[in-house]
Structure 1
Amino acid sequence: MTTFQLDKKLAEDTFAIARLGLCDLRLMNDRRWPWLILVPQRPDMVELTDLTPLDQTMLTFEMGIAAQALKSVTGCEKINTGALGNIVRQLHVHVIARNSGDAGWPGPVWGYGAREGYSLADAEAFAGAIRDAL
């Protein structure tokens, strides 16, 4: 039996926020968009359908509470969610706060411009606000 390990690229590109029931909740290091990532803590998961039906339900629930917390903290107009996995194969779900007029609006966030990283203090403050909103 293998154990869960966070993909190296996800670890490099994100800050830890919290461990939920199923997922490791993380903040993408790009301040242009408040952007959360949920990673189910199950080894060798690539597709949503690799999860058990119970884990699929839990993931949906955790996506919902993460989206509510993100919307509460940011006051955004729209929440975008997606699970692509074309670069990082480990199953993970993006939950992104969007507003008309933000960088790249109304297009997707992927491949738009250069990343603008958080300072460690700003990332910790944002993560704390998300934890409080959960």
Structure 2
Amino acid sequence: MTGFTLSPRLAADSVFIVDWPLCQLRLMDDLRFPWLILVPRRDGLEEWTELTPEEAHQLSDEIARAGQALNQMFKPTKINVGALGNIVRQMHVHVIARFETDAAWPGPVWGQGTRLPYEGARREQLRGELLTRLGR
């Protein structure tokens, strides 16, 4: 896991939460959707299929952990998990809490409206809640 460099787009659009065994966990800075991003810390990784079997298993575990935290914190209608990579090529996985009342329901969140960043205090409060819930 040496030489990891985060995509500038992911860095600009999200907030660092914690490093897990495989992934860096980040909060998408958009208050419209409770949204976590997992970025495997392997430089040059673009596709899920490039992961070793052990890494793929670890990624699956980390996705489940992120989804469980969102479920416990927000009680959503549905958890969406997606790994597209069409705009940001660096391998990353979105874990998004969705509600029938959200701005994009029932469609995807991508390309829906304008991102609304969290206010600084609310962002830090949510980050703290996630760290507590996830046990770091």
Q: Which TM class, normalised by the smaller chain length?
A: over 0.9
Report the Cα distance in structure 2 between the residues aligned to 1:83 and 1:46, rounded to whole angstroms.
10
User: How many residue pairs end up in the alignment?
Assistant: 134
Aligned to 1:16: 16
* 1-structure distance, mates of 2:61, 2:101: 29
State how far apart, in whole Å, the 2-side matches of 1:99 and 1:92 are. 22
One-letter identity of the residue aligned with 1:97 = A
Q: 1:128 matched to which residue of 2?
A: 128
**For 1:15 and 1:123, how far apart are their aligned partners in 2?**
8
TM-score by structure 2 length?
0.95
* Match runs of 1:47-86 below 5 Å: 47-86=47-86
1:120 CA displacement: 1.6
AA matched with 1:75: K
Unaligned runs of 5+ in 2: none
Provide the C-alpha distance between the structure 1 equivalents of 2:131 and 2:70, rounded to a whole number of angstroms.
10
Displacement after TM superposition at 1:121 (Å): 1.4
1:93: which partner in 2?
A: 93
The one-letter amino acid paired with 2:110 is W
Amino acid in the other structure paired with 1:24: Q
Structure 1 length-normalised TM: 0.96
Q: Offset at 1:119? A: 1.2
Q: What per-residue deviation string (whole Å, max 9, x for no partner) do you get for residues 63-98 of structure 1?
A: 000100011111112100000000000000000000
Identity of aligned residues (%): 52
Q: Residues of 1 paired with 2:116 and 2:37: CA distance? A: 17
1:128 offset after TM fit, Å? Answer: 1.2
1:102 & 1:8 partners in 2: Cα distance? Answer: 27
Counterpart amino acid of residue 81 in structure 2: T
Q: Aligned Cα RMSD in Å?
A: 1.2
> Any idea what SS the aligned residue of 2:17 has?
strand
Aligned equivalents of 2:42, 2:8: Cα separation in 1: 15
Cα separation, 1, equivalents of 2:44 and 2:129: 31
Distance 1:87 1:20 in 2: 24
Distance in 1 between residues matched to 2:53 and 2:107, nearest whole Å = 32
Instruction: Give 1:110 shift.
Output: 0.4
